[in-house]
Structure 1
Amino acid sequence: MSYPEDLQYPEPRYHGTRGEVNAVFRPADTPAELASPSGGATHYLATNASTGGEFGLYKVEMGPRAGGPATHFHRAVSESFYVLSGELELYNGEKWVTGREGDFLYVPVGGLHAFKNVTDEPTSMLLLFAPGAPREEYFERLAEVTRRGGEELKRFRIRHDSYFVEDFESGAE
């Protein structure tokens, strides 16, 4: 494989000469930040705050038959899914595909997507969004706001860069 002589890297953002001690370590036994009644959990591995807005990375554990979000897209962030264990149904904007351990789905900004666990076994995945966004409130308050529904739910979704197809279908506005 050959590489071009004029590689294009992003502009430097660090201008020091010796580097810094600024790495952040999160032990594997750190408790999940969120737990759900269905046996699921969300671990905030890297947040908007901890990465300076570069990316967000969560480990998401879903219990058996756990539903996920309906078809939606984001205007500000891309989203990536890496299946760690089990099987996860992923909607790639065109069709549902079954993701298994080691499978990866990248959804560019504006790409329609959804996911769910339709099996009788738990599944887990890494969820990466870039650039970073303050998504923690979305995950922490989603169940509560969904129970109330209506315009409040739609505003909440939009506040968190989540544009659900069902919110914009005719008669839904």
Structure 2
Amino acid sequence: MSYPEDLIYPAPRYHGDKGEVNASFRPADTPPDISSPGGSTHYLATNESTGGEFGLYKVELGARSAGAKTHFHKAMSESFYVLSGELELYNGEKWVTGRAGDFLYVPVGGLHAFKNVTDEPMSMLMLFSPGAPREEYFERVAAVSQRGSEELKEFRIRHDSYFVEDFDAGTE
């Protein structure tokens, strides 16, 4: 395979000569940051810890978990990598079944949704790029959902989540 001679990398952001000791390690047995009857979320790399470069979360959904209905983001892409079990993923056109090792990339503005329709739990990695402060969204969305549609819509928009149901009732 040949490669072009004029590869373009991003501009340097580190300008030192020797490198730094600045890596962070999260052991696999770290408890989840959020737990509920429907699943759990592990904050692997947050907007804060990556300086806004990306956000990476391990999400575990219980059997028959609703996940997220059809929505899009205006400021970030979202990617899904299935670690175990099965996950129904909406790619903007149709539902596809994701299994261990399957990957779905959703560019900025791309319609997407996900749900676990099986009787078994599943786990996945979710990557947001660039990073965004998603932790408040994950921690509060269930409670805000109980309070009413207008407050929920405002909460979702504050977190760059534009759900089809908020703007065009009846579309999925």
Counterpart Cα distance in 2 of 1:170 and 1:48: 32
- Percent same amino acid at aligned positions? 81
Summarize the alignment of residues 26-65 of structure 1 with structure 2, pairs less than 5 Å apart.
26-38=26-38, 40-65=39-64
- Tell me the equivalent position of 1:101: 100
| Cα distance between partner residues in 2 of 1:56 and 1:10 | 19
Whichever residue aligns with residue 34 of structure 1, its letter is I
Structure 2 equivalent of residue 145 of structure 1: 144
| Mapping of residues 79-118 of structure 1, within 5 Å | 79-118=78-117
Could you tell me how far 1:170 is from its partner in structure 2?
A: 5.9
TM norm structure 1: 0.97
Q: Deviations over 1:99-139 (max 9, x none)?
A: 00000000000000000000000000000000000000000
SS of equivalent to 1:19: coil
Equivalenced residue count is 170
In the superposition, relative to structure 1, how do residues 43 and 2 fare at CA in structure 2: closer, same or farther (>3 Å)? same
1:69, CA displacement in angstroms?
Answer: 0.9
Gaps spanning 5+ residues in structure 2: where? Answer: none
Q: Distance in 1 between matches of 2:21 and 2:169?
A: 53
TM-score, normalisation: structure 2: 0.97
Superposition deviation, residue 140 in structure 1: 0.2
The 4+ residue runs of structure 1 with deviation greater than 2 A are: none
What 5-or-longer segments of structure 1 have no aligned partner? none
Q: Give the match for residue 20 of structure 2.
A: 20
Alpha-carbon RMSD: 1.0
- Judged with a 3 Å threshold, the aligned counterparts in structure 2 of structure 1 residues 170 and 88 are, in CA distance, closer, same or farther, namely closer
SS in 1 for 2:68: coil
Matched letter for residue 140 of structure 2? R
